[in-house]
Structure 1
Amino acid sequence: MAVILQFDRFGGPEVLRFRDVAVPPPGPGEVRYRVEAFALNRGDLFWMEDRYYSSPALPARIGQEAFGVVEAVGDDVAGFAIGDRVCSLVQDDGRYCVNGTFAITPARYLAHWTGEDDPAAGCAIWSQALTAYYPMVELSRVGEGSIVLVTAGSSTSGNGAIQMAKLCGARVIATSRTLDKRDFLLGLGADAVVATDGLDLAAQVGAITGGRGVDLVYDTVAGPMMPRYFDCLAPGARIYIVGALSDDLALSGPILPLIRAGASITGFSVFNHNRLDAPFDRAKRFVGQAIADGRLRPVIDRIFPFEEAIEAYRYLSSGAQRGKVVVQL
Structure 2
Amino acid sequence: MARVVRFHRLGGPEVLCIEDVEVPPPVPGEVRISVKALGLNRAEVSFRAGTYIETAQLPSGLGLEAAGVVESLGQGVEGLAVGDAVSIVPPVSMIRWPTHGELVTVPAGLVVRHPPSLSWGAAAALWMKYLTAYGALVDIARLGSGDFVVITAASSSVGLAAIQIANMVGATAVAVTRTSRKRQALHEAGAAHVIAMAEEDLEARLKHIAGRDGVRVVLEAVGGPIFAPLTAAMSRGGILLEYGGLSPEPTPFPLSTVLAKCLTLRGYLVHEITGNPGKLEEARKFILAGLEAGDLRPVIARTFPFEQIADAYRFLESNEQFGKVVVTI
Q: Do the two structures share a fold, i.e. TM-score over 0.5?
A: yes
Alignment-mate amino acid for residue 73 of structure 1? L
Name 1:82's counterpart in structure 2: 82
Deviation at 1:254? 2.8
Unaligned runs of 5+ in 1: none
In 2, distance between residues paired with 1:11 and 1:228? Answer: 34
Distance 1:79 1:164 in 2: 28
Aligned-partner Cα distance in 1 for 2:33–2:235: 47
Q: Is the 8 A contact 2:135 2:272 kept in 1?
A: no
| Structure 1 residue matching 2:173: 3-state secondary structure | strand
Q: Give, in angstroms, the shift of residue 168 of structure 1.
A: 1.3
Letter in 2 for 1:186: H
CA distance in 2 between partners of 1:129 and 1:238 (Å): 19
Counterparts of 1:14 and 1:42, CA distance in 2: 16
- Does residue 56 in structure 1 map to residue 56 in structure 2? yes
1:146-181 deviation digits (Å, cap 9, x = unpaired): 100001101112111111111111001010111110
Verify the 8 A CA contact 2:91 2:106 in the aligned structure 1. no
Q: What SS does structure 2 have at the residue aligned with 1:209?
A: helix
SS at match of 2:212: coil
Residue 7 (structure 1) aligns with: 7
* Matched residue type, 2:244: G
Percent identity, please.
Answer: 37
User: What's 1:318 paired with?
Assistant: 318
Partner Cα distance (1:173, 1:324) in 2: 20
Q: Does 1:294 align with 2:294?
A: yes
**SS of alignment partner, residue 216 of structure 2:** strand
**Displacement over 2 Å in runs of 4+:** none
1:135 aligns with 2:132: no
Q: Alignment length, in residue pairs?
A: 328
**TM-score, scaled relative to structure 2:** 0.96
Q: What is the rounded CA distance, in whole Å, between the counterparts of 1:178 and 1:25 in structure 2?
A: 48
Q: Which residue of 1 aligns with 2:270?
A: 270
For residues 319 and 266 of structure 1, the distance between their equivalents in structure 2, rounded to whole angstroms, comes to 25
Whole-angstrom CA distance in 2 between matches of 1:174 and 1:98: 31
The equivalent of 2:216 in structure 1 is 215
Distance (Å, rounded) in 1 between the aligned partners of 2:265 and 2:121: 35
Conservation of the 8 A alpha-carbon contact between 1:301 and 1:322: yes
Contact 2:216 2:239 (8 Å CA) reproduced: yes
Cα distance between partner residues in 2 of 1:6 and 1:292: 36
Question: How far, CA to CA, are the matches of 2:320 and 2:118 in structure 1?
Answer: 28
Moved more, 306-315 or 170-179: 306-315
Q: Is the 8 A contact 1:54 1:92 kept in 2?
A: no
What's 1:67 paired with? Answer: 67
Deviation at 1:117, TM superposition (A): 4.2
* Whole-Å separation in 2 of the counterparts to 1:324 and 1:173: 20
Q: Which residue of 1 aligns with 2:228?
A: 227
Is residue 152–residue 159 contact of structure 2 (8 Å, CA) maintained in 1? yes
Asked if 2 retains the 8 angstrom alpha-carbon contact of 1:62 and 1:99, the reply is: yes
Name the SS of the counterpart of 2:297 in structure 1: coil
**SS in structure 1 of the partner of residue 204 of structure 2:** helix
1:35 has 2:32 as partner? no
The 8 Å contact of residues 7 and 59 in structure 1, kept in 2 or not, is answered as yes
Match of 1:229, SS?
Answer: helix
Counterpart for residue 240 of structure 1 = 241
- Which residue in 2 is equivalent to 1:95? 96
Cα distance in structure 2, aligned partners of 1:126 and 1:15: 26
Q: 1:125 touches 1:299 (CA, 8 Å); kept in 2?
A: no
For 1:24, the aligned partner's letter is P
Q: Tell me the distance in 1 between the aligned counterparts of 2:121 and 2:170.
A: 28
Q: 1:211·1:232 contact (CA, 8 Å) conserved in 2?
A: no
Query: How big is the shift at 1:92?
Result: 2.6
Q: Deviations over 1:208-255 (max 9, x none)?
A: 12233111000011122211211100121111001111123x331432
Q: Describe the SS at the equivalent of 2:241.
A: strand
Partners of 2:254 and 2:103 in 1: CA distance:
49
The alignment partner of 1:77 has SS state of coil
The more displaced of 20-29 and 8-17 is 20-29
AA at the equivalent of 1:22:
E
Is structure 2 residue 202 aligned with structure 1 residue 162? no
CA distance in 2, matches of 1:75, 1:156: 35
